[in-house]
């Protein structure tokens, strides 16, 4: 009885795994390899809006497939690369570009990481200074200095003997 239950659970698990990992159909390429090459060049410069850290050319999301299809249509209509980029920016904003232009709206994208790094360095320096000031400075007496010298001499002589 237990064996039948375990085997049926295993079979169910295998079926569920095979269903969920089925591959998607390949996206058909353009009839013209020149169009496809141009599509790849343009879409490498754009960010997938779903994946965000992946280029439009490398993403396999449904939205990326739709955007690549749209770019193919624009290419076949005779649009230039710049016109296609402008169309995508008008529709999705500067975020769609991996290298957004430097303008007041995108200053945070360009300067933000450096500001955060500078703030972190300043914060670390302030923390280290406060920590060093919190440790009391003690001066050793003459007797303590003689005791330390004696310990160092003993350590030195014992290391020479070995």
Average pLDDT over residues 24-41: 71
Q: How confident is the model at residue 24 (pLDDT cuts 50, 70, 90)?
A: very low
pLDDT of residue 99: 81
At residue 23, the pLDDT reads: 43
Checking if the pLDDT of 82 tops 80, the result is yes
Q: Kindly state the DSSP code that residue 104 receives in the 8-state scheme.
A: G
Cα separation, 97 vs 52, in Å, equals 10
Q: What is the pLDDT of residues 107-145, one digit of tens each?
A: 887 888 999 999 999 999 999 999 988 888 788 899 999
Q: How do the domains of the chain map onto residue ranges?
A: 28-101, 102-134
Residues near 105 by Cβ (< 8 Å), separated by ≥ 6? 94
Distance CA 77, CA 19 (A): 39
> What pLDDT, on a 0 to 100 scale, did the predictor assign at position 3?
67
Label residue 21 by pLDDT band (50, 70, 90). Answer: very low
When pLDDT is cut at 50, 70 and 90, the band that residue 32 belongs to is confident
* Residue partners of 109: CB distance under 8 A and separation at least 6: 94, 100
Q: How far from 111 is each of 115, 126, 131, CA to CA, in Å?
A: 6, 23, 30
Question: Three-state secondary structure along 33-98?
Answer: HHHHHHHHHHHHCEECCCCCCCECCCCCCHHHHHHHHHHHHHHHCCCCHHHHHHHHHHHHCHHHEC
Assigned superfamily of 28-101: Cytochrome C biogenesis protein (1.10.8.640)
The pLDDT of residue 5 is 67
pLDDT at 44 over 60: yes
Higher pLDDT among residues 114 and 49, named by residue: 114
pLDDT of 73: 92
Whole-number pLDDT of residue 14: 63
* Beta pairing partners, 55: 47
Q: Answer for the pair 64, 13: CB distance below 8 angstroms, yes or no.
A: no
Q: Give percent of the chain above pLDDT 90.
A: 37
């Amino acid at each position: 009885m237990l064996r039948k239950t375990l085997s049926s659970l295993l079979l169910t698990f295998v079926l569920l795994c095979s269903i969920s990992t089925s591959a998607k159909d390949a996206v058909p390429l353009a009839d013209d390899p020149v169009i496809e090459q141009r599509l790849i060049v343009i879409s490498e410069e754009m960010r997938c809006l779903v994946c965000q850290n992946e280029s439009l050319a490398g993403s396999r999301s449904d939205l990326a497939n739709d955007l690549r299809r749209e770019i193919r249509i624009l290419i076949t209509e005779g649009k230039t690369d710049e016109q296609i980029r402008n169309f995508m920016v008008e529709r999705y904003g500067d975020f769609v570009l991996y290298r957004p232009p430097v303008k007041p709206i995108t200053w945070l994208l360009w300067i933000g990481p450096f500001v955060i790094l500078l703030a972190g360095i300043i914060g670390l320096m302030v923390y280290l200074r406060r920590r060093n000031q919190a440790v009391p400075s003690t001066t050793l007496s003459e007797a303590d200095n003689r005791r330390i010298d004696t310990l160092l001499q003993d350590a030195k002589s014992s290391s020479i003997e070995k």
